[in-house]
Amino acid sequence: MITYAALSPHPPLIIPEIGGSRIREVQSTVDGLQSLARELAASEPETIIFLTPHGNVFADALSSLGQPVLRGDLTNFGAKQKWQLSNDLELLKEIAAQSADDNLPFVILDQDIAQRYRLNPDLDHGILVPLYYLQAAGLTDVRIIAISIAFLPNIQLYQFGHILQKAAEKTGRRIAILASGDMSHRLKDDGPYQYHPDGPVFDQTIRDLLGAGDVEGIINLPDTLCSNAGECGYRSIIIMLGALDGIDFQPQVFSYEGPFGVGYLTAGFKPGSARASLLLQLQDGQRRKQDKLRRQESPPVKWARMIIESYITNQPQPKLPEEMEYLRHEMAGTFVSLKKHGQLRGCIGTINPAYGNLAEEIAGNAISAATRDPRFLPVEEHELDDLVYSVDILGKPEPATRDQLDPKRYGVIVTKGSRRGLLLPDLEGVDTVEEQLRIACQKAGIRPDEDYSIERFEVIRYT
């Protein structure tokens, strides 16, 4: 069972040996963490699961340290104290099994894997700073699990939190969840990053939503707000809240301050009685959204999806539907793109026609996008219901100069000898000609200072 959940900041400065006399400048955070630690200790957990943004963080998989004994220190910050704690391997094994059952990417990093891939095998400061206060509150003989967050979609992070809850129930463990993370790093110009007005907005919004217990509001925060804030705690919070899915809870904000341009928020969440699962609502809403997209698919997109689904499930290639027969009478370069939960899952295409007709062009590029994009593992059958497709049909490329480019209207092709890079138009986050050319050159392996040729092209994008 979940005995308690907590959100803790992690500035090393609040460790007395590190902060010294400056610790007075963060006294509110120190007091808040001491109160939080007492509350968590009073819940008598057998294991504490830490969620840290400063461990071995991967874009597409959550991970945990897998050694039987977990060690760490803060010598890089000037402290001499060292930590050594037992890893709860039984619970960790159950978390991995539950993740596999739910098709969520989760890896356990043992000592051999850490050495082979040059990963950090030790506890990081995102864990050690709050751990210092938990031990001071009496939790000196407790097992821990050290989990690093991932840049997965919010619904998957929330789902992973629910997996932690299920694993605790399966093993009969009393566990506390501690989400480690600071709020915005852009509260002041003299902070670690330049001030951004969304910094204070993000911090106040998180405080308000957590205080109100508005989980769905936190999950649905705009991506731009989180990005502009320069935070490091948002994903930890979502996983922590997922661990409380289906459980009513009482939130308590112990402290908030931002004396150095970084927001430090300390909050606790005491579990109560059962309530309806938000995860089921989120998953149901996602299915309804996918069903609506399927009903509204354009013919090229429907054909690409039919091809991919038959290929991945080892079925014979479908016949081209009669209403798409016109695709046999056209030729053009095409790009097929796949997204999963809003993130790119594959994109492959041809600049000029490489097949006998447009139907074959789309089919060939669809299979390549799903199985041969070197940036991703091949699509698996369990992912098919989550994929969103688009098909770009390219116009004929024409020579262009920089001042004739428009990243919203035109795609771009850069060429230097045998090196060639292409970037489609109207891509999220590509708003300037300079950025468009930079990415296209990077894809081609062309240095920005080289003399390369430029072509532009228009596309018809089908969704």
Same domain, 183 and 143: yes
Q: Give the structural domain span for 334.
A: 297-391
Same domain, 402 and 369: no
Residue at which a domain ends, from 332, 366, 391? 391
d(CA 65, CA 27): 32
Is residue 447's pLDDT more than 90?
A: yes
Same domain, 373 and 422: no
Same domain, 83 and 226: yes
Q: Is residue 240 part of a domain?
A: yes
Same domain, 127 and 103: yes
User: Where does 153-294 show beta strands of DSSP type E?
Assistant: 175-180, 247-257, 264-274
Residue at which a domain ends, from 391, 407, 428? 391
Mean pLDDT for 2-20 is 96
- Half-sphere exposure of 200 toward its Cβ, with a 13 Å CA cutoff? 7
CATH code for the domain in which residue 311 is found:
3.30.700.20
- The structure tokens 């116009």 sit at 395
Q: Is residue 290 part of a domain?
A: no
Same domain, 236 and 277: yes
What is the model's pLDDT at position 76? 92
The domain tally of the chain equals 3
Same domain, 173 and 243: yes
Apex 423 CA angle, 422 and 424, nearest 5: 125
Task: Quickly count: other Cβ atoms within 10 Å of residue 409's Cβ.
Answer: 11
CATH code for the domain in which residue 449 is found:
3.30.1490.150
Mean pLDDT for 156-179 is 98
Apex 410 CA angle, 409 and 412, nearest 5: 155
pLDDT in tens, 374-401: 999 999 999 999 999 999 999 999 999 9
Is residue 213's pLDDT more than 90?
A: yes
Q: Specify the length of the chain in residues.
A: 463
Same domain, 46 and 93: yes
Q: Is residue 286 part of a domain?
A: no
Average pLDDT, the chain: 95
DSSP designation for 372: T
User: Residue 297 in contact with residue 387, Cβ under 8 Å?
Assistant: no
Q: Is residue 31 part of a domain?
A: yes
pLDDT in tens, 20-49: 999 999 999 999 999 999 999 999 999 999
pLDDT in tens, 346-377: 999 999 999 999 999 999 999 999 999 999 99
Q: What percent of the chain has pLDDT over 90?
A: 94
What is the model's pLDDT at position 111? 87
Q: Is residue 287 part of a domain?
A: no
Is residue 448's pLDDT more than 90?
A: no
Look up residue 73 and give its amino acid. D
Tokens of 133: 């206060």
Task: Quickly count: other Cβ atoms within 10 Å of residue 386's Cβ.
Answer: 19
Same domain, 17 and 101: yes
Tokens of 456: 């532009």
Task: Quickly count: other Cβ atoms within 10 Å of residue 443's Cβ.
Answer: 14
String of DSSP letters for 325-338: GGGGG----EEEEE
Q: Is residue 227 part of a domain?
A: yes
What is the model's pLDDT at position 47? 98
CATH code for the domain in which residue 184 is found:
3.40.830.10
DSSP designation for 383: G
Residue at which a domain ends, from 391, 410, 441? 391
pLDDT in tens, 92-141: 999 999 999 999 999 999 988 988 989 999 999 999 999 999 999 999 99
What is the model's pLDDT at position 342? 84
The H or E element that residue 388 is part of is: strand 387-394
Same domain, 38 and 83: yes
Same domain, 153 and 270: yes
Is residue 341's pLDDT more than 90?
A: no
Is residue 191's pLDDT more than 80?
A: no
Please name the residue ranges forming H helices in 296-394. 299-312, 358-371
Same domain, 421 and 435: yes
Residue 309 phi/psi, 5-degree rounding, is -65, -40
